[in-house]
Structure 1
């Protein structure tokens, strides 16, 4: 009976084993078919090129009118009237402020009376001298007293005229620091106002000593005068971030180094016929620095690791991370000091999506198409 059971079970086991092997074989074949082949993705690459490039050094600047004259009273008095407003365009000699002159007018009347009295004394002595009744010395003394009285009177009149405060130059009225009723004098900490001639303006900016030495050493010319004349024109970036339409010319450089700041001050002149620039404005001066036949690459083709800059050079279809030294930057380009040679092919975009040794399908791309791309934020 036992042998019969075994006889009947063996065919069933064989059938079950066959089904299991078939399923296993089918699953293995499907797994092999599902396994994807490693794909080589395309990436843009560029050649390292040499070209003339201009970078810009930027310095904060303060703007002043070519003439910036403070208006102060020469006498003490209360402001009786303010005849202009801030921003008005005025002419030299135009009346700006009137000060109270009542007390001065009284002084003038007294001084005039002294002149009249002295004149009467002279007139009385003249005939007496002519008749030799008195000596000529008395007459000369009286004449001297008359001249003193006239001088005192003229001084009071001049003081009254000083109460009429006039513009010293043609220009634009600045902030008015005192209004009607204020007591003012020449010793006030603030001027009444200022008048600035702004047809041309000066932009003042400073360089530290190291930057100044490098700047002058690289400038053309033998003497400092020749170097200043040969300096390139500068640009002015306004407070709103836009570049002023007129270029400026560096006219002077201070002859000493400020002991407190360790800096040297430059003065650049800008034409301002449109009146856009005002005395007291601020901006940023951009001084160009020209590099001839410099090695350049797109800035977005680089990445940093432990404080150093790298690029991926393309060797065949593989990527190799290469350390570089950057000398300067110009817009969206880096000027290379060392680490690359002209003609070397580097990964242009996607440095954050690859790793060393990775294989790619390089697509040679013009440099301009990379630097003009708007997707420079995402590497």
Structure 2
């Protein structure tokens, strides 16, 4: 009887263990396959972007040197003009009358000099009278020349080749050398300068990546830069960085930089804006998709798979690659690490997965798929 009870107890225990095992297996989640990539190294170009303001080689305010009413305007806003081309003409009626009067005085003074010369030669009068007459002649000539200069100044010409700016004043407006607003501005935009600022760290990064011994050598050897226009399109001509300011701005800690862009088409205009892109070529770096990372508490996180195929979160430092799709990894990941690129944000740390390894180059360059 006892033997029968013992056998029954053993069978019951085996049955309970079997049920517990089945329940445990039923509760455990299945190991799911997720795509991972085994990291390698590649090359890329980073483009640092800086907002810039555009100015021509020269931007010259055109002002009146004499007083007068605007009688004629020979140009239009945006017109291209040559050096010496007439832009404005001021009214000169009063000055012309003064010139005629001054010329008459010159004639009279010259007659007086001519009358006195023979008298002095014959010692009829002293030469003091003649010298006085000559001085009077010189004075009226000087007055006449001053009036003629005023008349000439009333015809206002362009001092340079360039583009006419706005024309705030109209026909009949009274202007003088003291008028606050210029008649217009002529901009020489055969070359356009893009002015922008970089902070101290960026300035050091730029110069340390440039070839050359001296600071000027480094500037001369810097790569060509791009200009993105305000409408988002890329300007067709490459530019060249020409200068860095000698010292940082004490208030902002930034350096002023000037890049020049050829502007034969006259597409760029003074007063415009854009974005300067400075390229940096990187060799043998790890590139990862931005979509394969998470941002947690101001940190960028990537998920890698360990030797037991369990997911592990690691903090990484990255730099964005232009285009908004990829990062360059500065720290946190190594070649041959297996990084999760599917299910990011869904798969929890510590989860065991079945890695589905995909090609690294195809991940960072879809054309190679």
Q: TM-score range by the shorter chain?
A: 0.7 to 0.9
Cα distance 1:183–1:45, how it changes in 2: closer, same or farther (>3 A)?
same
What's the C-alpha RMSD, in Å, of the aligned pairs? Answer: 2.4
- Number of residue pairs matched by the alignment: 342
Length-normalised TM-score, structure 1: 0.83
Residue 281 (structure 1) aligned with residue 275 (structure 2):
no
Matching residue of 1:44: 35
Matching residue of 1:354: 347
Cα distance 1:233–1:354, how it changes in 2: closer, same or farther (>3 A)?
same
* Gaps in structure 2 of 5+ consecutive residues: 1-18
The answer to whether the Cα contact below 8 Å between 1:299 and 1:333 also exists between their aligned partners in 2 is: yes
Matching residue of 2:333: 340
Residue 268 (structure 1) aligned with residue 262 (structure 2):
no
Matching residue of 2:213: 222
Structure with larger Rg: 1
Shift in Å at residue 36 of structure 1?
A: 9.9
Partners of 1:40 and 1:210 in 2: how far apart? 47
Matching residue of 2:74: 83
Length-normalised TM-score, structure 2: 0.85
The answer to whether the Cα contact below 8 Å between 1:326 and 1:334 also exists between their aligned partners in 2 is: no
Matching residue of 1:198: 189
Deviation digits for residues 279-321 of structure 1 (CA, Å, limit 9, x no counterpart): 1110011111233322222222111222222111122573423
Residue 239 (structure 1) aligned with residue 230 (structure 2):
yes
Deviation digits for residues 92-125 of structure 1 (CA, Å, limit 9, x no counterpart): 1111111111222222223223212221221111
Shift in Å at residue 197 of structure 1?
A: 2.1
- Give the 3-state SS of the residue equivalent to 1:294 in structure 2: strand
Partners of 2:126 and 2:102 in 1: how far apart? 28
Partners of 1:369 and 1:188 in 2: how far apart? 67
Matching residue of 1:69: 60
Partners of 1:368 and 1:77 in 2: how far apart? 73
Moved more, 211-220 or 152-161: 211-220
- Give the 3-state SS of the residue equivalent to 1:353 in structure 2: coil
* Gaps in structure 1 of 5+ consecutive residues: 1-27, 374-379
Shift in Å at residue 193 of structure 1?
A: 0.9
Matching residue of 1:20: none
The answer to whether the Cα contact below 8 Å between 1:105 and 1:160 also exists between their aligned partners in 2 is: yes
Shift in Å at residue 257 of structure 1?
A: 3.0
